[in-house]
Amino acid sequence: MESILISLSGGLLQALEPLNLFMIILGCTVGLFVGAMPGLGSVNGVAILLPITFLVPPTAAIIFLAAVYYGAMYGGAISSITLGIPGASTAVATVFDGRPLAMSGKADQALTAAAIASFIGGTISVILFTLFAPPLAEFALKFGPPEEFALMVLAFATFIGLGGDDIPKTMFSILIGLVLATVGLDIISGKPRLIFFDVPGFLHGINFLVLAIGIYGIGEMLWTLETTGGKVIVHKVKLTWSGFMTNVRSVRVYIKSTTLGSILGYFVGTLPAAGATPASLMSYGLAKTFSKDPDSFGKGNIAGVAAPEAANNAASTGSMLPMITLGIPGSPTTAILLGGMIIWGLRPGPLLFSENPDFVWGLIGSLYVANLFTVLINLAFIPVFVRVLTLPFTVLAPIIFVLCIVGGFAPTQTMHDVWLMLLFGIVGYLMRKLNYPVAPAVLAIVLGPLAERSLRQSLLSSQGDVLIFVERPISAMCIAIAVALMLYPLFLAWRKRRRSGSTNGGPEGSDA
């Protein structure tokens, strides 16, 4: 405990260094903007901005990106409340009560509640993070290749069991991500693999950013252009100081559901497939269940804004726990951060705590500082963000496209990758329209090389005996949970079929 406090104070001091502090403030501001813009969420912001962070040292870069992630969670609420459309999928639940509040002229109350709840969620989760991360990392030091591989199988199994998307399509998405990661030179034998049509550009492999920017930059913009047609309508917000103080005092009305939502959000956030969106929806449901007046939810209950906002912030911190301690990202956004760490020459996983303590504790310290700054910037600049939302989408879209094109070129500096990125963007958009989930593919392309290496090392050490994965207790447990998760949808389908009898027996469970 004492060692944690010492490391933490070191991390806080590091976060307050001029460059890092500047990065936090910049990141929070950019994140708020990214989160507030419909069509852009934390994952889009982080994917598009990652190439630009090569400007600064790795610690400052991850601090910036973590602040963007954080800010985006706050920012999502701004458009949910003022526009009635979620700024990011993570803020969907905020619309349910945020919109009715704005319609009845209480937009300022909803915005303040969202910001304060986000702050509470962020604070609770970052404290939980500080307490859980070091012991978990120490435990994970015992992991060998079989445990690593089993853990990755478990991470992918969460998509199948909890993702809620069509299962064959989810599995296809995972597998294609893993296969695309093998393109290029084989790390073990050095042989070139999957060099399609002998195009030399494939020899250096497919950088995960090419897929991530393609899908979350280009693909997302095409998707948003289609759904919004480029037009949005904004709700007026008036903010006064006295009104603000009244709103702050009303925090006791929703403090209980906010705390509950924060803890729930944190733990849901650590699961790779779950993350901030389901966490906020679950938190909303929980707040409604435990409320004395559940009927007022959906008609403008302030707790209905606070609970999901606390949960999505807590989940974003939660998703960093497996990334930092195990090297397994807890969300698509952290998958991109993880890929970034590999580019910066860091090896994600339990060794990070002992090998790069400055990096880890600098990041943790920055989460505390970022949380504070985001709530301040958010409250101070709500009118500015609302103004920004009035930008027509046809101004924003070309700017994002340009950033994607240049950002796709930057990591490898070949036009080959830019063309590939455009292709991934278009294909990703077309597949998303048919409900193929895209997040598993991005997670898979980041984890692919690590998964393959740990599998081959394991099999080599066991002389080809696959039982190695079930003979070791930790990996056996991971595999067992993974198998249970994969069978869970089948169980749901079976139960549903039994309940509905023979009248309507389609295996709909997999689509639930």
Partner 1 sequence: MTVRQAEFMMAIATILISLGLMWSSTDGLAIGWVSEKGPGSGFWPFWLSLGMLMCAILTLVRWALRLTPESRSTESYMSRDAVIIVGTSVGALVALLIGIHLIGIYLALVGFLIFYLKIVGRHQWPITIMLSGGGPVFIFALFEWGLKIPLPKAVTEEWFYPIYDVMYGSDHFWVFILAAFALLATISIAVHRLLPAGEE
Footprint of partner 1 on this chain (CB under 8 A)?
A: 51-52, 54-55, 166, 168-169, 171-172, 175-176, 178-179, 182, 186, 188-189, 191, 193-196, 218, 221-222, 225-226, 229-230, 234, 387, 390-392, 394-395, 397-399, 401-402, 405-406, 409-410, 413, 415, 418-419, 422, 426, 429-431, 433-436, 452, 455-456, 459-460, 464, 506-507, 511
Minimum CB separation of residue 342 from partner 1 in Å reads 18
Phi, psi of 403 (to 5 degrees): -60, -35
Q: How many other CB atoms are found less than 10 A from the CB of residue 96?
A: 20
Query: Which residues, in sequence order, are CB contacts of 137 under 8 Å at separation 6+?
Result: 324, 325, 326, 350, 352, 353
Minimum CB separation of residue 5 from partner 1 in Å reads 33
The distance of Cα 264 from the centroid of its chain, to the nearest Å, equals: 16
By C-beta, is 381 or 409 nearer to partner 1? 409
Minimum CB separation of residue 23 from partner 1 in Å reads 11
Phi, psi of 193 (to 5 degrees): -125, 150
Minimum CB separation of residue 216 from partner 1 in Å reads 16
Minimum CB separation of residue 215 from partner 1 in Å reads 15
Minimum CB separation of residue 464 from partner 1 in Å reads 6
By C-beta, is 206 or 287 nearer to partner 1? 206
In terms of DSSP bridges, do strands 192-193 and 184-185 run parallel, antiparallel, or are they unpaired?
Answer: antiparallel
Minimum CB separation of residue 229 from partner 1 in Å reads 6
Give 51: exposed, middle or buried? Use CB within 10 Å, 0-12, 13-18, 19+.
buried
In 3D space, the residue among 108, 29, 133, 35 whose CA is nearest the CA of residue 77 turns out to be 35
In 3D space, the residue among 11, 49, 21, 39 whose CA is nearest the CA of residue 404 turns out to be 49
Q: Which long-range contacts (CB under 8 A, 24 or more apart) does 49-52 make?
A: 49/407, 50/209, 50/212, 50/336, 50/339, 50/340, 50/407, 51/209, 51/406, 51/407, 51/408, 51/410, 51/411, 52/407, 52/410
User: What whole-number distance in Å separates Cα of residue 460 and Cα of residue 191?
Assistant: 18
**Amino acid symbol at 9:** S
Phi, psi of 255 (to 5 degrees): -65, -35
Minimum CB separation of residue 247 from partner 1 in Å reads 27
- Is 443 in contact with 157 (CB distance < 8 Å)? no
What is the 8-class DSSP label of residue 292?
S
By C-beta, is 336 or 422 nearer to partner 1? 422
Minimum CB separation of residue 392 from partner 1 in Å reads 6
Neighbouring C-alpha atoms within 13 Å toward the C-beta of 277:
19
By C-beta, is 30 or 263 nearer to partner 1? 30
By C-beta, is 162 or 179 nearer to partner 1? 179
Query: Which residues, in sequence order, are CB contacts of 306 under 8 Å at separation 6+?
Result: 113, 114, 116, 117, 254, 257, 258, 261, 287
- Is 156 in contact with 483 (CB distance < 8 Å)? no
Minimum CB separation of residue 135 from partner 1 in Å reads 33
Q: Is the dihedral of CA 370, 52, 325, 309 positive or negative?
A: positive
By C-beta, is 54 or 244 nearer to partner 1? 54
- Is 325 in contact with 350 (CB distance < 8 Å)? yes
By C-beta, is 169 or 204 nearer to partner 1? 169
Minimum CB separation of residue 174 from partner 1 in Å reads 9
User: What whole-number distance in Å separates Cα of residue 45 and Cα of residue 209?
Assistant: 12
Q: How many other CB atoms are found less than 10 A from the CB of residue 430?
A: 12
Minimum CB separation of residue 306 from partner 1 in Å reads 30
Query: Which residues, in sequence order, are CB contacts of 328 under 8 Å at separation 6+?
Result: 151, 152, 155, 272, 322, 447
By C-beta, is 70 or 156 nearer to partner 1? 156
User: What whole-number distance in Å separates Cα of residue 41 and Cα of residue 88?
Assistant: 5
By C-beta, is 104 or 461 nearer to partner 1? 461
By C-beta, is 66 or 420 nearer to partner 1? 420
By C-beta, is 196 or 241 nearer to partner 1? 196
Minimum CB separation of residue 463 from partner 1 in Å reads 8
By C-beta, is 127 or 459 nearer to partner 1? 459
By C-beta, is 166 or 253 nearer to partner 1? 166
